[in-house]
Amino acid sequence: MTAPIVHTLAELRQMTRGWQRAGETIGVVPTMGALHDGHLSLVARAKEMSDRVIVTIFVNPKQFNNPEDLANYPRTEHEDARKLERFAVDAIYVPDGPQMYPDGFATTVSVDGLTNVLCGAHRAGHFDGVATVVTKLFTQTSADLAFFGEKDFQQLQVVRRLARDLDLGVEVVGCPTIREIDGLAMSSRNLLLSDKARSRAAALNDVMEEMAEALGQGKDIADLLPEAKGRLAAAGFGDIDYLEMRTKDTLRLIDRATEPARLFAAAYMAGVRLIDNIDVPVAD
Ligand code: AMP
């Protein structure tokens, strides 16, 4: 079944008001399109947990700190609608730029603390852009539930915080990272890699898995970093923005896995910035 593609807030509200009057819960899956199985796993979860499901597709200019990255971001709307067919979602909301940011738009939602590290430290303004658009999408869709991937773990924590701080009444559901067979986390950006770069990119997850195992055995990350970075360089990775272990809830930097933690990485393969994060078992 082809879901209705809705471009305006007025049309969307007409639908959501009817659902709310009928006492139905609304689940929203915010995306920037170029859908892959990672996104679709969120849609599947949303279908299980909500009466009505809205998938949003909006390549949000405010969260790109680099104009070239925004221009190159893959856009595959027809394919996206086709991939969503089998899920029978209730609406695909595809607002245009002026619908989200009309002339004179002057409000920014900014989450403190959690956004000063990791991607926030390397992508100026990125999380303000994310927090602002997510807040708008939550209010526009009248969401009761919202589904986000652990692939973007920092984003998930930022969204949880803003939903709580602003009393948005949205339950934020985190969903596990879906990977390619060789372990590479699925990402719309993988489409930008050549075949050669794509196959080399799997080294990121390999290296991280080995590090997480050693960290879980109580090793200090400082002792693991030289070899890990050497292996990434040998695989063809260029700049590494970060390769760090942080606590799960507050994203505080730690050297040893003495509390629930994740290992985070962002590194460039052939000019494409790839990110990943995985769970680290607590060391005895
Ligand atoms: P994006 O279109 O990249 O903004 O992603 C939209 C949503 O899909 C975000 O909540 C992401 O965390 C999630 N997502 C992206 N890639 C994956 C993946 N490989 N596994 C699970 N969720 C993902």
Q: Of 7, 36, 39, 78, which one is the catalytic site residue?
A: 39
Ligand 1 pocket, residue 190 CB under 6 Å: no
pLDDT tens figures, 194-235: 999 999 999 999 999 999 999 999 999 999 999 999 999 999
Three-state helix/strand/coil letters over 99-165:
HHCCCCCCCCCCCCCHHHCHHHHHCCCHHHHHHHHHHHHHHHHCCCEEEEEHHHHHHHHHHHHHHHH
> How many angstroms separate the Cα of 130 from the Cα of each of 61, 120, 166, 232?
10, 11, 15, 29
Site to substitute for ligand 1 among 36, 40, 42, 145, most atoms within 8 A of C-beta = 42
pLDDT tens figures, 128-155: 999 999 999 999 999 999 999 999 999 9
Distance 24 CA to ligand 1 centre (A): 25
Distance 149 CA to ligand 1 centre (A): 5
Give the pLDDT band of residue 77 (cuts 50, 70, 90).
confident
| Catalytic annotation present for 122 | no
What pLDDT does 191 receive? Answer: 93
What pLDDT does 271 receive? Answer: 96
What pLDDT does 2 receive? Answer: 78
Ligand 1 pocket, residue 146 CB under 6 Å: no
> How many angstroms separate the Cα of 65 from the Cα of each of 123, 128, 193?
6, 11, 20
Give the pLDDT band of residue 1 (cuts 50, 70, 90).
low
Ligand 1 pocket, residue 41 CB under 6 Å: yes
At residue 201's C-alpha, the angle toward residues 200 and 207, to 5°, is 100
Site to substitute for ligand 1 among 152, 159, 172, most atoms within 8 A of C-beta = 152
Region 262-277: what's the mean pLDDT? 98
Per-residue pLDDT for 107 more than 70?
yes
Neighbouring-strand partners of residue 280: 261
Please state the φ and ψ torsions of residue 261, each to the nearest 5 degrees.
Answer: -145, 165
Ligand 1 pocket, residue 42 CB under 6 Å: yes
Q: Indicate the average pLDDT of the chain.
A: 97
* Alpha-helical segments (H) within the chain: 9-21, 37-49, 67-72, 77-84, 97-100, 118-122, 126-141, 153-165, 195-200, 203-216, 221-235
Share of the chain above pLDDT 70, in %: 100
Give the pLDDT band of residue 65 (cuts 50, 70, 90).
confident
Ligand 1 pocket, residue 148 CB under 6 Å: yes
What pLDDT does 277 receive? Answer: 99
